Amino acid sequence: MGKYILSLDQGTTSSRAIIFSHSGEIIAIAQKEFTQIYPQAGWVEHDPNEIWSTQLAVATEVIAKASLKAHDINAIGITNQRETTIVWDRNTGKPIYNAIVWQDRRTSEYCNEIKRQGNAKFIQEKTGLIIDSYFSATKVRWILQNVEGAKQKAQNGELTFGTVDSWLIWNLTGGKVHVTDVSNASRTMIYNIHSLSWDDELLQFFDIPKSMLPEVKSSSEVYGQTAGNILAAQLPIAGIAGDQQSALFGQMCTQLGMVKNTYGTGCFMLMNIGKTPKTSTNNLLTTIAWQINGEVNYALEGSIFIAGAIVQWLRDEIGLIQKSADIEQLAQQVTDTLGVYIVPAFAGLGAPYWNQEARGTITGITRGTNKSHIARAALESIAYQTMDVLNAMQADAGTPITELRVDGGVTANNLLMQFQANLLGCDVIRPQVSEVTAIGAAYLAGLATGFWKDIEEIKSQWQISKTFAAQSDVDNAERIKGWQKAIKAAIANSLP
């Protein structure tokens, strides 16, 4: 029995592989970035073959980096960027179009049409999702309608659809296994989160043949083995979860009412709401968190499309900083933003606004505004958006939230984390293991193979690195009013 778990963390901008020990310690990490493709304004694509090649490369690299052999690996867990849509030929295994990324807005007008026709409610009741081009169904429909011959091939049973987890498993098993898990299925807008099945009425609505779909499994079970020529061993693939659900599990938010927020490219806040799905009345999503041993846990989710990406934008497009880490030092040179607010609605606004047409806006600039104010306003925009989602979540839950567990690269920024705690009026807790998304998938895989006995054994591994307590002497009322005005400006600035 192997002594380590290999976690494949396939993200929006890079593919990563991390090896964990039985004690939850990181043994080695490998990472490769891949190409972001922008065919036109609002469109975002990835090359599925590059997703696969970079993921395989880092999986091989990390085993070598750790000075291990493939047979030292007990199991593989997979976590992935969600909603990103790939359609490939069942016979050749070749994609018929680039992966359409979760950030892509090409189906926005079709989503608006669905709303105008009054179909939003029946879709939300089945899926827990709010109509938006974010989710997979409208992307699949677009591919079938716009790639020559695709519709006919799909009807003939020759095409296969999958989110990134399905695509990786198909390739890892040499085309033998076509599965997904409940957490990823619940993000497609064609999966019924109550009956736990692909929904025939929704498939008909979006005109997607059922033959294309992967088999839906739990988040923790053995789905198949890697093909012998891949990683030089037949290793069990035993855990799958979409990245945000995986982070919720990695943060050990296994009890009702526990909340985590992941600060990555976007920001994603999830609250464990237990074993019964509850439709949000405050513009949040209801999603499946995971299924383990036949038992399903649900979550409320608030999705913020642009968080850490605002820092990348200041670095790459504006040239304000040389590297992302520089932003904290630049922002610390001023004590406030001097009334400047940035609403980073580069891809519209997510929860709780769900305005696809809103665009990025900077307000409050004066002659005295300098680059430090801009840097600070960019960081604060992440905290304000998080506040909006947390307020909606508290309203849905009917109870105040006393702590927020945080993870993701941006949480290394102490200035932002303290501002976040002050703004929310609750403890912001950063764990010792920052790779919670990857470790969540590792835990799910290890539970399936008996590597870890049960969730209680895993809980003992979760440790706090730092707690940011809210400072009671800080009054944020005026700041929050300014933010609300800036949001109104971003919505008023919507595309026609």
Q: What is the pLDDT of residues 17-48, one digit of tens each?
A: 999 999 999 999 999 999 999 999 889 999 99
How far is the CA of 250 from the CAs of 24, 289, 372, 434, in angstroms?
10, 12, 35, 10
| Cα–Cα dist 320/223, whole Å | 46
308 is in an annotated binding site: yes
- Is the pLDDT higher at 357 or at 383? 383
367 is in an annotated binding site: no
244 is in an annotated binding site: yes
250 is in an annotated binding site: no
What's the pLDDT tens digit per position in 407-420?
988 898 999 999 99
How far is the CA of 178 from the CAs of 165, 238, 488, in angstroms?
10, 14, 45
149 is in an annotated binding site: no
Closest CA to 179 of 193, 192, 194, 198: 198
Q: What secondary structure letter does DSSP report for 412?
A: G
The answer to whether residue 355 scores a pLDDT higher than 60 is yes
Mean pLDDT along residues 192-207: 97
Return the ∠ at Cα 180 (arms to 153 and 302), rounded to 5°.
110
| Cα–Cα dist 385/313, whole Å | 17
Residue type, 12: T
134 is in an annotated binding site: yes
What tokens does 296 get? 């399903």
pLDDT averaged over the chain? Answer: 93
| Cα–Cα dist 85/72, whole Å | 33
Q: Crossing angle, helix 120-127 and helix 108-116, to 10 degrees?
A: 110
What's the pLDDT tens digit per position in 50-108?
999 999 999 999 999 999 999 999 999 999 999 999 999 999 999 999 999 998 989 99
| Cα–Cα dist 52/47, whole Å | 9
Whole-number pLDDT of residue 18: 97
Whole-number pLDDT of residue 241: 97
262 is in an annotated binding site: no
Whole-number pLDDT of residue 409: 84
The residue to which tokens 């505004």 are assigned: 369
The answer to whether residue 399 scores a pLDDT higher than 90 is no
7 is in an annotated binding site: no
What tokens does 257 get? 């009412």
The answer to whether residue 136 scores a pLDDT higher than 90 is yes
Whole-number pLDDT of residue 354: 82
376 is in an annotated binding site: no
What's the pLDDT tens digit per position in 203-225?
999 999 999 999 999 999 999 99
| Cα–Cα dist 355/345, whole Å | 9
What's the pLDDT tens digit per position in 309-332?
899 899 999 999 998 889 999 999
The answer to whether residue 119 scores a pLDDT higher than 80 is yes
What tokens does 425 get? 């009026």
360 is in an annotated binding site: no
Q: What secondary structure letter does DSSP report for 210?
A: G
Whole-number pLDDT of residue 496: 56
Whole-number pLDDT of residue 495: 59
What tokens does 205 get? 């609505």
Mean pLDDT along residues 394-403: 86
Whole-number pLDDT of residue 1: 67
| Cα–Cα dist 247/441, whole Å | 8
Compute the Cα dihedral for 33, 39, 42, 48 and give only its sign.
negative
Strand pairing of 361-363 and 341-343? Answer: antiparallel
- What confidence category does residue 431 fall into, taking pLDDT thresholds of 50, 70 and 90? very high
Q: What secondary structure letter does DSSP report for 287?
A: E
Whole-number pLDDT of residue 299: 94
pTM of the model: 0.89
| Cα–Cα dist 266/365, whole Å | 25
In the chain, the percentage of residues whose pLDDT exceeds 70 is: 99
What tokens does 174 get? 């040499």
Closest CA to 216 of 260, 256, 261, 161: 161
